[in-house]
Amino acid sequence: MDKVYLGVDIGGTAVKLGLVDTHGRVLARAEESVSFDGYKTPILDTVTGAAARFLAGQSITPAGVGVSATGQIDSVQGVVAGTCGSLPGWDDAPIRTTLEKALSLPVTVANDANCMVLGEVWVGAARGCTDVIGITIGTGVGGGILTGGRLLEGARGLGGEIGHYRTHVRHGMACTCGAVGCWERYASTTALVRAAQARNPAWNSGRAVFAAAEAGDREVQLLLDDWIEEIAQGLAGLVHIFNPQRILVGGGVSAQTDLLIRPLADKVQASVMPAFRQGLDLRAAELHNDAGLVGAVYYLRQHKPELV
Ligand SMILES: [Zn+2]
């Protein structure tokens, strides 16, 4: 029988679990809150319990566990290396050793945005691509870079944190990371809503802003255009460094084909040198909720070939 793997996607509000087969298909799923008691129960305790319960209910034992985790993840050690203080008790959480001991299975751990890109490369919108820039637009901007078929991880596995690339150093906005002018201060959904809400308190969510733009509100359309320009210029800079064949945009706003994906693709194309434009396309990510756990399993299989 074919092997299966446990994919675990740890976010700030929930942990998603899935049994994934050798083709990247999710055979069974579960989800549990990690914030149910305001993080009084450490996230890692909740995750460990959820994984054990989930596996107890399955008839097959997986070959290994691939974890996708929020925060700066040291994938060499399998620990949380930093969070900017955004998640109580998550800093330094020893994910790999804890899960290996609790489940008696080999475990790998990687950053969630990096896993998103790998999931999309395996079975999603970047299937077969070797050079991909993936961004997830939401509260912040997450990123993952695939270059020459390999995930760009850097020395500790922290690489690809492109939301904190500095795009506005002079008079820039303060970022949660302690620096000033990070790209995500300008390119996240939070940034769009912040700008819109300053004009009209009713524009208090991405949904409200896009609805107003769709209804033809000129003021919102101009704000949206400015925001897309910020995203496009950040991407254009990255295109010149990495020469990708595909840019993937994930996050809730990526469902906005006419109001975001198409104009963003046009702006990126218009902002890069002609040679970089050839063979480059930008599209929405496809896997949505499954991207993290499927990508985590892809990472596991890449790093532990004996489990394939
Ligand atoms: Zn920052």
**Structure token digits, residue 14:** 């929930």
| pTM assigned to the model | 0.93
Give distance in angstroms: CA of 119 to centre of ligand 1. Answer: 25
- Dist. CA 103–CA 162, nearest whole Å: 33
Give the start-to-end residue ranges of the domains of the chain: 4-115+289-307, 128-285
Mean of pLDDT over the chain: 96
> Could you give phi then psi for residue 31, rounded to 5 degrees?
-145, 140
- Residue 279, by phi and psi: left (phi above 0), alpha (psi -120 to 50) or beta? left
- Dist. CA 133–CA 114, nearest whole Å: 10
Q: How far is CA 288 from the centre of its chain?
A: 10
Give distance in angstroms: CA of 28 to centre of ligand 1. Answer: 36
* Contact call for residues 150 and 69 (beta carbons, < 8 A): no
Give distance in angstroms: CA of 152 to centre of ligand 1. Answer: 19
**Residues 6-60: tens digit of each pLDDT:** 999 999 999 999 999 999 999 999 999 999 999 999 999 999 999 999 999 999 9
Average pLDDT, stretch 105-130?
Answer: 96
Say which CATH class 4-115+289-307 falls into.
Answer: alpha beta
**Residues 152-173: tens digit of each pLDDT:** 999 999 999 999 999 998 999 9
**Nearest by Cα to 157 from 80, 83, 88:** 80
Give distance in angstroms: CA of 169 to centre of ligand 1. Answer: 11
Say which CATH class 128-285 falls into.
Answer: alpha beta
Give distance in angstroms: CA of 190 to centre of ligand 1. Answer: 14
Give distance in angstroms: CA of 173 to centre of ligand 1. Answer: 9
Give distance in angstroms: CA of 176 to centre of ligand 1. Answer: 6
Give distance in angstroms: CA of 158 to centre of ligand 1. Answer: 14
pLDDT at 86 over 90: no
pLDDT of residue 288: 83
pLDDT of residue 1: 67
pLDDT at 292 over 70: yes
CA atoms within 13 Å, Cβ hemisphere of 263: 14
- 128-285 matches 4-115+289-307 in CATH topology: yes
